[in-house]
């Protein structure tokens, strides 16, 4: 079985800054350019929030609030030519089971950095 996205942590300034008691780690995907994510970690290495984007589909887990599924409002098809702007990302709730199952399949078939994999997958 072929694995899905192969995520790795990238070092950024945000990963060094403590904001409201949390560090933000950025995940990039080595085999899919439009997949990435963010982890918000407390000082004891507990994940407090996860946000994973697969194209314009989003799954998010927040401690104490559970899992949320969204789609961004960005254009998915870009016309040829100069001057087209995809737009800013605003998350719109998704509640149809087909889209939710699609997002869950993406997450569960992904490979995460070993130090975070179990902690991420147990949330979904």
Q: Residue range 53-80: average pLDDT?
A: 85
Under 8 Å between Cβ of 49 and 121: no
In the predicted model, what is the mean pLDDT of the chain?
88
- Distance between CA 110 and CA 8 in Å, rounded? 11
Over residues 7-64, the pLDDT tens digits come to: 999 988 878 888 999 999 999 999 999 999 999 999 999 999 999 999 989 999 999 9
Under 8 Å between Cβ of 20 and 32: no
Dihedral of CA atoms 72, 56, 11, 120 in degrees, nearest 10, equals: 100
Instruction: Read off the pTM.
Output: 0.84
Q: Residue range 94-112: average pLDDT?
A: 94
Provide the 3-class DSSP secondary structure of residue 113.
Answer: coil
Give yes or no for residue 91 having a pLDDT over 80: yes
Higher pLDDT, 80 or 50: 50
pLDDT at 88: 58
Give yes or no for residue 81 having a pLDDT over 80: no
Instruction: Give the number of other CB atoms < 10 A from CB of residue 45.
Output: 10
Closest C-alpha to 45, from 117, 116, 113? 116
pLDDT at 120: 97
């Amino acid at each position: 079985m072929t694995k899905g996205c192969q995520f790795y942590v990238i070092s950024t300034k945000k990963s060094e800054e403590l904001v409201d008691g949390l560090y933000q780690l950025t995940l990039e995907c080595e085999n899919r350019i439009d997949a990435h994510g963010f982890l918000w970690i407390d000082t004891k290495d507990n994940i407090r929030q996860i946000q994973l984007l697969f194209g314009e589909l989003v799954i998010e887990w927040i401690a104490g609030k559970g899992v949320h599924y969204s789609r961004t409002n960005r254009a998915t098809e870009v016309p040829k030519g100069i001057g087209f702007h995809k737009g800013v990302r605003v998350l719109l709730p998704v509640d149809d089971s087909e889209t939710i199952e699609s997002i869950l399949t993406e997450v569960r078939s992904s490979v995460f950095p070993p130090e975070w994999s179990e902690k991420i997958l147990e949330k979904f």
